[in-house]
Amino acid sequence: MNRLIVDQDKCKKDGICAAECPMQIISVTDRSFPAIKAAAEERCIDCGHCVAVCPQGALALTTMKPEECPPIQKELLLSEAQVRHLVLSRRSIRSYREKQVDRGILENLIRTARYAPTGSNLQPVHWTVVKEPTQVNRLAGLVVDWMQPMVDGRVEPAYPLVRLKPIVQAWQKGRDMICRGAPHMIVTHGPKDLYASLPACIIALTTLELIAPSFGLGACWAGYFNAAINTHPPLFQALGLPEDHQSFGAMMIGYPKYQYHRIPLRNEPPLAWR
């Protein structure tokens, strides 16, 4: 089946689609309209670059028409100063208001973060949201159950004990240092044997954390929670993840209780030029 459809009235045979195709499977000459090279259809990764880059909107894929693809609004693009401030002012948020986040807002956040890049455009990221705060607390307890034998010296600790002991002790005193009392958790997971799953999940959650403040939200990576999902079956089962999946990142999310007023200092980047 020909997945590339050309509007011959609009196409100017400028070759931009062929130049930008990541798989280099489009041929176009000044005499011919763009076409997918012989036997190359199966190499198409459906990234839509040919559709998105054509100035005339002359190309469609069977999976996406140009009129379905939102136009890029230049007036909405951020300046360098705005982007730099966005990145520098991002903070891990560990104190949350009790207010719950509407399901629609969380869904919007995820629907934006899904535009993060994925290897071969495989889009392998699955999202599981723990919506109920009581459930988040119950799951944090399962993480403590996972840590307890390490702290007791019954199993090899997965993290230094100086890190684990205060977390378990805090839990016993009613303070949650696992999910930090966040109202919701977002877990990204994907097929465990797929090469694209790990980077895609991490990049997607990184994107989500970065954009969360524009939704009035704050987030924080939940490293212990994520480690426990993959090594403590009761947590994996409580989340209802598919058997052939692995969790590649978890995040707390909610409305921040406090605002930050300064950007903390960071090390100079160890940078080599060759």
Ligand X SMILES: Cc1cc2nc3c(=O)[nH]c(=O)nc-3n(C[C@H](O)[C@H](O)[C@H](O)COP(=O)(O)O)c2cc1C
Spatial contact of 119 and 199, defined as CB atoms under 8 Å apart: yes
The backbone torsions φ and ψ at residue 176, rounded to the nearest 5 degrees and listed phi first, read: -95, 105
Confirm or reject binding of residue 231 to ligand X (CB under 6 A): no
One-letter amino acid at 240 equals G
- Cβ neighbours of residue 76 closer than 8 Å, sequence gap 6 or more: none
Task: For ligand X, give the closer residue by CB, 93 or 241.
Answer: 93
Confirm or reject binding of residue 86 to ligand X (CB under 6 A): no
**Contact residue for ligand X among 28, 51, 222, 241 (CB under 6 A):** 222
Spatial contact of 245 and 190, defined as CB atoms under 8 Å apart: yes
Give the shortest CB-141-to-ligand X separation in angstroms: 15
Bridge partners (DSSP) of residue 128 are 187
The backbone torsions φ and ψ at residue 247, rounded to the nearest 5 degrees and listed phi first, read: -85, 130
Rounded Cα gap, residues 140 and 252, in angstroms: 11
Confirm or reject binding of residue 220 to ligand X (CB under 6 A): yes
Structure letter (DSSP) for residue 207: H
Task: For ligand X, give the closer residue by CB, 168 or 220.
Answer: 220
Radius of gyration of the chain (CA): 23
Confirm or reject binding of residue 92 to ligand X (CB under 6 A): yes
The residue written with tokens 């969380």 in the block is: 106
**Contact residue for ligand X among 96, 224, 236, 248 (CB under 6 A):** 224
Counting residues that bind ligand X (by CB under 6 A) gives: 8
Give the shortest CB-192-to-ligand X separation in angstroms: 18
Confirm or reject binding of residue 221 to ligand X (CB under 6 A): yes
Beta-sheet strand order (sheet of 218-221): 126-130, 184-191, 245-254, 218-221
Confirm or reject binding of residue 234 to ligand X (CB under 6 A): no
Confirm or reject binding of residue 232 to ligand X (CB under 6 A): no
Give the shortest CB-58-to-ligand X separation in angstroms: 43
CA 146 to chain centre: 26
Confirm or reject binding of residue 91 to ligand X (CB under 6 A): yes
Give the shortest CB-265-to-ligand X separation in angstroms: 11
3-11, 28-36, 90-98, 128-136 -> range binding ligand X (CB under 6 A): 90-98
Task: For ligand X, give the closer residue by CB, 91 or 257.
Answer: 91
Residues that bind ligand X (CB under 6 A): 91-92, 94, 220-224
